[in-house]
Chains A and B, each alone.
Chain A
Amino acid sequence: MRSSFLLATAAAALISVAPTPAQAEEASSLTLTIAAVEPLSGNLQIALFKGGEAYEGGAPVAAHSVAANAANVSATFEGLAPGDYGVKLYHDVNGNGELDTNPFGIPIEPFAFSNDAQGRFGPAKWDAAAFAITPGENSHTITLQ
């Protein structure tokens, strides 16, 4: 296939937007586990979005950068309001703060979405990536490929 599969992946958005603080009194938390991290270098840049509108192009409610120093790493998000969320993440292997792409815009560093959802010429759609956060503690695992 010849076409430029372009840009797509979301990643640019997720690092350039400052997180919006969640309401402190909403007591939900999320422990996100990222599995199959490889190689063990750089950081995992993780953005958490609340609702489809934010996920498809708005600002994340929280963003974490976690050292990619083990095959399974986790990040905890506190003070979340219950609701439907989506995660976009990429593995910044060389730690340059960007999702590197080849000259045609195809990402050359690993990336993933909640539910291990996959996209078609771009980020996974909200319908595929959305998962529920309920009151109390929540956990979710994303496996890098």
Chain B
Amino acid sequence: MTDPFAPNRRQLIQTLGLAGATAAFSAAPARGVPIAEATGTPGWHAGYRTAPAAGFPEASMTPVSGRLPEGLTGAFFRNGPAQFTYGDTVAGHWFDGDGMVQRIWLGDGKASHSGQFVQTRKRVREQAEDRFIYPGFGSAGAANVALSGPDDTNAANTSVIVHAGKLYALWEGGSAYELDPVTLETKGPKVWREDLTGMPFLAHPKREPDGRLWNLAVGGRTVGIYRIGAAGDLERFDMVDIGAAAYIHDWAMTDRHLVILVQPWLRTSFGLPIVDHLEWAPDEGLRILIVDKDDPTRTRWAETPARFFYHTGAAWEDASGAIHIDIALYDKPELASGAATDLIRGGPVTRSDTPVSNLSRLVIAPNGDVRVEETGIDGEFPTVHPGFHGLARRYTALVGGNLEGRPGAHRLSVVDWQTGRASSFDYGNTRIAEEHLIVAKPTGRTEADAWVIGTALNTARQCHEVHVFDLAGVADGPIASFAADYPWPLGFHGTFSPA
């Protein structure tokens, strides 16, 4: 098969260049970075400040432009770190802040917002003692703090999923935490089966269009595989050997296979914080374990030169059996340290602190050969139409771009893998775009019959916003936008749960 990006690369770049600027967003080119007068730190710092311990009570958001489309009704949940300081003490890494789940309710032409911290064991104790105690990804924690398992350090801050009507806040190394989907009250760690108590539940579960959910338990060289029915019951749990204790944040799934990408960022010794015990070993390559969903003992390997990634979009298999994975690749591990605490402090941040990815497609032939097709599009948080997860599809949404003097993405792109073109919308210098999701229209029959919804922090007006696009017209800008009266901390991943 030909590389669709080769002939269209020029066109693709043009498309990107032409993107943006609808009426609502046609602000003059930004000069410098907005300053939040109240604090003296840059405007973007509103995204990295500790949220109120009591959370955000439900408050209506103000319509800014457009109209919420008929049929878009449901809860848009997001999760991200939201506790960054105790007194003068700063968390050791942005990734280690306690999770706060944001809930944006959309319906009847209106939007409202609420948010609550996940009351993990870690948070409850640290709040009671008004200090950081537990170690994490990049935080050392208090000296000699007792630890009996990963859930002691579970920040429940990475993602969120609704499955069989239940809402879970997800981390990557510990249990999912169940929350009430309306009040966001924490119910406690989820036990899928008694003997799996305390097993990690990765922040990137994958759901088949028929509702079955798959996820990994990552804890070293051995990885667990959850298969959870549409009704929420654990159907089976298997273990596979991935050959190395690699850092795994995300993975991929087709209709027939699970694809575990074993990148060579390897745990060389045991200890905390995690990042201090990981070593980049590019000679090991990027090894890919392909697991048969029907029989997890049936596996095969593929391999390609070392690359680093946090996120995949999704995967699918063509008629030849080749597996296609869209993935945001880097040359080496990024965001491991350094700038992550500068974000919490409010700077300084330079453009080079925001890593630049290359959205690519890995094509794994049945014989194990791997081809890497690079799009040249920089971005993160790739997402796909949930009705096509694991199946052949055309579109991936992602946010990207970086600007001098501020962190975060400013551009939403929807890549059409069939044409090799991307259409994009530029939020400009006064907004930080978070992950955007593709949401099926209730009446939609095709992949393109969808909306794209996402949040952005308005750094000039110091408020959070939610924006709705038509997937087919992303470059035209949002068709509906709402603004809260206040900002909340920037997060990682979300999910949309239709009413």
Residues of A whose CB lies within 8 Å of any CB of B are: 1-5, 8-9, 100, 102-104, 106-108, 118-121, 124
Contact = CB atoms under 8 A, between A and B. Distances in A.
Interface residues of B, number: 37
Contacts of A119: 146-148
A64 to B, nearest CB: 23
Contacts of A3: 150, 173, 219-220, 245, 267, 270, 274, 277
B195 A108 contact: yes
A108 B172 contact: no
B379 interface: no
B270 A1 contact: no
A103 B197 CA distance: 9
B219 A4 contact: yes
B148 A118 contact: yes
Nearest to A109: B197
A104 B219 contact: yes
A91 to B, nearest CB: 14
B474 to A, nearest CB: 35
Given A8-B148, A102-B195, A107-B149, 12 more contacts: A1-B135, A1-B150, A1-B173, A2-B267, A3-B150, A5-B219, A100-B195, A103-B224, A103-B239, A104-B200, A108-B197, A119-B148
Contact of B218 (A2, A106, A121): A2
B172 A2 contact: yes
B79 interface: no
Contact of A120 (B144, B196, B224): B144
A58 B334 CA distance: 45
Contact of B199 (A8, A104, A120): A104
Contact of B147 (A4, A100, A121): A121
B408 interface: no
Contacts of B219: 2-5, 104
Contacts of B174: 1
Interface string B42-54: 0000000000000
A1 B153 contact: yes
Contact of B149 (A2, A5, A100, A103): A5
6 contacts: A1-B150, A2-B248, A9-B148, A102-B197, A104-B222, A119-B147
A106 B267 CA distance: 19
Interface of B: 135-137, 144-150, 153, 172-174, 194-200, 217-220, 222, 224, 237, 239, 245, 247-248, 267, 270, 272, 274, 277
A4 B220 contact: yes
Given A1-B174, A2-B220, A102 B148 contact: no
Given A1-B174, A3-B270, A106 B195 contact: no
Contact of A121 (B136, B217, B220, B270): B270
A2 B247 contact: yes
B220 A1 contact: no
Nearest to B198: A106
A1 to B, nearest CB: 4
A102 B199 CA distance: 7
A2 B158 CA distance: 14
A60 to B, nearest CB: 21
A4 B194 CA distance: 19
A45 B224 CA distance: 30
A11 B496 CA distance: 44
Interface centre among B148, B195, B199 (most CB of A within 10 A): B148
B492 to A, nearest CB: 16
A2 B173 contact: yes
A15 B135 CA distance: 32
A4 B145 CA distance: 17
A107 B148 CA distance: 8
A60 B174 CA distance: 34
Interface centre among A2, A3, A100, A119 (most CB of B within 10 A): A2
Interface centre among B197, B219, B239, B267 (most CB of A within 10 A): B219
B136 A104 contact: no
Contacts of B153: 1
Contacts of A8: 148
A131 to B, nearest CB: 17
A107 B151 CA distance: 12
Contacts of B248: 2
B295 to A, nearest CB: 19
A9 B173 CA distance: 20
Given A2-B219, A100-B195, A102-B199, A118 B274 contact: no
A104 B274 CA distance: 17
Q: List 6 A-B pairs, minimum CB-CB distance, nearest first.
A: A118-B146, A108-B197, A106-B149, A1-B173, A4-B220, A2-B173
Contacts of A124: 146
A118 B136 CA distance: 19
A120 B146 contact: yes
Contacts of A5: 147-150, 219
